[in-house]
Amino acid sequence: MFERLNKMKERYQELNDLIGLPEVVSRQDEWRKLVKEHSQLTPIVEAYNEYLKYSEDMDSCKEMMKEADKEMASLAEIEYFEVRDKRDVVELELKKLLIPVDPMDEKNVIIEIRAGAGGEEAGLFGAELMRMYKRFAERIGWGYEDINLNITELGGVKEVSFLIRGKGAYSKIKYESGVHRVQRVPETESQGRVHTSTITVAVLPEPEETDLEINDKDFKIDTYRASGAGGQHVNKTDSAIRITHLPTGLVVECQDERSQIKNKEKAWKVMLARLYDQAKSKQDKEYSENRRLQVGTGERSERIRTYNYPQGRVTDHRIGKTMYSLTDFLDGDIFEMLEALSLADQTAKLAGSEEE
């Protein structure tokens, strides 16, 4: 770790010199990249300098502890342990700063919800989860926008996708990907028996086109007439859009807007997000063959959470955390769970970095 930190410190000093040179400043694109790299290294180098200062102070205390004056030696010993505690705190902060940052963490997110096992009951619960995420966005002051809604006649979800817009949205919500299970008595159940249903949630960062290598020839775009629940036509024009990525077979449809242009924009957002997610999943799979972290964005088939209505509890199976506040949780108060998941992920990554 310290060899890496020393190299970062050398690079930081090099950048200090470079970004002040007139010939570099005149090359604005290059200069901006150097300034960005400098700002990324600044908190790490500052923490490392603080760590080195505490280490020097500890060495000074050790020398003073050898003094013949017992009172002076005793004071030096007390100061030594005080400084050591401060250095330990800085060392932990350094390890956190060295954990690679997901470049997508600051992005908006696209959430896709699909009904799984359980028929109409699964769809109805999917609609409740959609509301939960939108209420969470409202609580935190973020905005949201529907992309495509495929709703049943009873108001359940067949398949929906919507955008949550906010700084750092992906960093907070990315752990929600996976299978969510609900245990409750459906309204249609006359015997009062508890049924188990599942829905799948996919959380995708909203990438820019520059985040991917895009070839226009790889895409086929079709238009068709939008229709709603029950098959009735929503409008009389071919405003719905279907985009197919020919190399992978990925298909995205959008008919939420009456405008063909707006539907195309929304469908394109989802397509880019899915392609990015596919590429990232492949990369993550290669990484996980060497090391699997306890918490991550997870496999789509991984059962991550159970919502038990009779007991009023929510249990996340990845970290073993149970909360007995189901009503508030479904009303968007999911902050505590998201923080616990983030902490568990960070702890696992710290442990992994220490092993390497």
CA distance 131 to 291: 35
pLDDT of residue 291: 40
CA distance 288 to 348: 13
Closest CA to 124 of 155, 153, 93, 102: 155
Based on the domain organization, do 32 and 70 belong to the same domain?
Answer: yes
With cut-offs at 50, 70 and 90, classify the pLDDT of residue 126.
Answer: very high
Angle at CA of residue 282, ends 209 and 41, nearest 5°: 65
**Residue 182: HSE in the Cβ half-sphere, 13 Å Cα cutoff:** 25
Token representation of residue 235 = 């409008």
**Which of 81, 98, 115 represents a domain boundary (last residue)?**
98
pLDDT of residue 253: 83
* 306 within domain boundaries: no
202 has pLDDT over 70: yes
Based on the domain organization, do 259 and 141 belong to the same domain?
Answer: no
* 293 within domain boundaries: no
* 86 within domain boundaries: yes
The answer to whether the beta carbons of residues 355 and 158 sit under 8 Å apart is: no
Based on the domain organization, do 133 and 196 belong to the same domain?
Answer: yes
Cross-strand pairs, 325: none
Range of the domain at 73: 2-98
**Which of 98, 113, 148 represents a domain boundary (last residue)?**
98
Q: What is the mean pLDDT of residues 275-299?
A: 55
- Which residue type does 220 have? K
The answer to whether the beta carbons of residues 348 and 294 sit under 8 Å apart is: yes
* 134 within domain boundaries: yes
CATH code of the domain containing 117: 3.30.70.1660
Averaged pLDDT of the chain: 84
**Which of 63, 98, 133 represents a domain boundary (last residue)?**
98
Based on the domain organization, do 318 and 194 belong to the same domain?
Answer: yes
Based on the domain organization, do 200 and 77 belong to the same domain?
Answer: no
* 13 within domain boundaries: yes
pLDDT in tens, 221-248: 888 776 654 444 455 556 788 888 888 8
Number of domains the chain is built from: 3
Based on the domain organization, do 44 and 193 belong to the same domain?
Answer: no
Residue the block writes with tokens 């008595």 = 185
